[in-house]
Structure 1
Amino acid sequence: MRTVVVKNFGGPEAAELIGTELPALGADQLRIRVAAAAVHPADLLTRSGALAALLPERPHYTLGWDLSGTVDAVGAEVTSFAVGEPVVALSDWFATLNGTQAEYVVLPATAVAPAPTKATEVEAATLPLNGLTAAQALDLIGLAEGATLLVTGGAGGVGGFAVELAVSRGLRVIAVAGIKDQAFVTGLGAQWVERGEQAAEAVRALVPGGVDGVFDTALVGSPLLAAVRDGGVFVNVFPPAAPVAERGIRVDSVGVHSDGAQLAALSELVDQGSLTLRPARTFAAAEVAAAHTLLAGGGQRGGVVLTF
């Protein structure tokens, strides 16, 4: 089967498509015929060698965190899925190095969910990693209905989902984004604040007492603490970029993990029209280097997706 791997760390050309063996199926697992798999910043970091110190030595590393596809085979202990069923899934990549950018992937059934019925396979591939990151971050922040949440990168892959999910949970949401994304984030139900050095001051103008929580997907860091009330909460997506706590503010980072039940709930929100899927560009798997180049250049409003 065809698999996207990195044998030697380097530039976009280090991500290549090779032939590998079909993965074996365990009793509690599913084998999935992959239709599409998103390319994420974590894939770029892996390919470049930026994460090399955190990885065990391997002849190659299979890239990819999430996927959409159909069930190809079902383990003996699995009763919740059937062959041919459209699914989405997240692989706990750092724990297993089990990449999803391949024609076939084997995952625990607990990491898999029914795919949204009102989305294409390419659209569905943009949901698992970013959607679960947003949902699990909101759970970690733990704000009650009516509280105020600030989301940085409000037009990004994770940030856009966070805005919509937070609005659906009854939160007042303020989204930091570029001026060209103002209409998009307000359309999701958030108030807009322009990104930049004056963002915290602009937030305080809207919420004089300070917001109850921040979800910092854009890794703005310390400058945004000024926008948070005493005793509030600040959560980001990358622990080394977390600011030092002050004024009783709880500072934490979300570490996304697979959760089939939570992913199924997100799929239902997509079908209800409450969660927006945004693929930006699609590449054939053989064009993975071009996909990495595009994503590294920034400015994408939506997911970059490989098709198999």
Structure 2
Amino acid sequence: MRAAVYDHFTTDLDAVTVRDLPDPKLAPASVLIEVKAAGVNPVDWKLMAGGLDAIMPTQFPVVPGWDVAGVVIATGFDTPEFQVGDEVLAYARKDTVGEGTFAERAVVPVRAVAHKPASLSWEQAAGLPLAGGTALRAIDVLGDLAGRTLLIHGAAGGVGSFGVQIAVARGARVLGTASPKNHDYLRSLGAEPIKYGDGLVDRIRAAADGPVDAVADFVGDQLATTLAVLRADGPHSSIADGSVVEHGGQYVWVRPDGTETARLAQLADDGKLTVDVAGTFGLDQVAEAFRQSQSGHVRGKLVIVP
């Protein structure tokens, strides 16, 4: 099969090349997926630079990619949940960095797989699992949000935009921080936009007519603002700042979970969640996709199409 690979840790994005590799071995309790699309996430190029080497073993050559959407073409032992021909998606992270999803085929543990929502294209489905799952967990830990005011830091980003949609679906009033160019986009998702910068605390409190009920941080370095606008007993979470736990908050790290991905798929099919695809790339364009991801100015998901 054709796959994008790199052979060592490096910050040189052009070190990603395309070559032929053997098909991955189909393990028990796994499915072999013909990859229709694979989402790009910042963790992909951070892994390439060795950013998670302290906590995750790596087996070279590495095929990057942790998000996937495609068709089941074979099943391992004991996988009654799926059959050949099923359209699926998954957050496909494994315990070892090595066999990723930027390839024509990928093996994924069945515990991470969910049926693809019919309402989303292959490219949209591929951009959903990791970022959507991260947002889902960060919102879940905040408890019941119906009728409450939620502040989301980084609301227009890849994870934040999912957080907005999930919270709105639960009946929350959402205030979302973003640059002015993204304010119309946030309004289209159901959030009330608030501009970054000096005076942010005052703008938040004015919009909320007092403290907010809960906060979800999808950007980091926002703890002081969170504590300044949150009601005394209000819950808060962050995906980017572990220090929130010292102030009563919860730090969120998503793990592969097909059940959670299925919840996102259902929201999509219910018309309550969509995925904005910012660009698609071939296997030979992974370096360019990584460069765009690193720029920090992408609104929506970047997707690899083998």
Q: TM-score range by the shorter chain?
A: over 0.9
- Tell me how far 1:255 sits from its aligned partner: 0.9
Tell me what 1:23 maps to.
Answer: 24
- Alignment correspondent of 2:236: 234
Aligned to 1:203: 204
Tell me which residue corresponds to 1:256: 254
Contact 1:239/1:252, CA 8 A, preserved across alignment: no
State the one-letter code of the partner of 2:275: L
CA distance, structure 2, for counterparts of residue 142 and residue 54 of structure 1: 30
Conserved? CA contact 2:59–2:96, under 8 Å: no
TM-score under structure 1 length normalisation: 0.92
Please say if residues 237 and 244 of structure 2, whose CA atoms lie closer than 8 Å, have aligned partners that are also in contact.
no
Partner residue of 2:191? Answer: 190
* Structure 1 unaligned spans of 5+: none
Structure 1 partner of 2:284: 286
Q: 1:205 & 1:245 partners in 2: Cα distance?
A: 27
The structure-2 alpha-carbon separation of the partners of 1:21 and 1:239, relative to structure 1 and needing over 3 Å to count, comes to farther
Q: Is the 8 A contact 1:204 1:227 kept in 2?
A: yes
TM-superposed deviation, 1:106? 1.1
Identity level (%) = 36
Question: Are residues 7 and 111 of structure 1, via their aligned partners in 2, closer, same or farther at CA, if it must alter by over 3 Å?
Answer: same
Cα distance change, pair 181–13 in 1 and its aligned pair in 2 (3 A): same
Tell me whether 29-38 or 257-266 shows the greater mean CA deviation. 257-266
Query: In the alignment, is the contact (CA less than 8 A) between 2:35 and 2:70 conserved in 1?
Result: yes
Give the CA RMSD over aligned residues.
1.8
- Give, in whole Å, the separation in 2 of the partners of 1:50 and 1:29: 28
Larger relative strand fraction:
1
CA distance in 1, matches of 2:17, 2:224: 39
Count of aligned residue pairs for this structure pair: 303
2:135 corresponds to: 134
Superposed CA offset, 1:49-76 (max 9, x none): 3333334353333211111110010123
Could you list the per-position Cα deviations for residues 192-242 of structure 1 after superposition, in whole angstroms to 9, with x for gaps in the alignment? 1111232222111122441122111111322322111112222111344x3
Distance 1:234 1:127 in 2: 23
**Distance (whole Å) between structure 2 residues aligned to residue 129 and residue 40 of structure 1:** 8
Once residues 280 and 26 of structure 1 are traced to their aligned partners in structure 2, the CA distance between those partners, rounded to angstroms, is 34
Residue 270 of structure 2 is matched in structure 1 by 272
CA contact (8 A) 1:143 1:213 kept: no
Gaps of 5+ in 2: none
Q: Note the alpha carbon deviations across 1:226-285, whole angstroms, 9 max, x for none.
A: 111112222111344x34744xxx222111012212212211221222101111010101
Matched to 2:214, the amino acid is: G
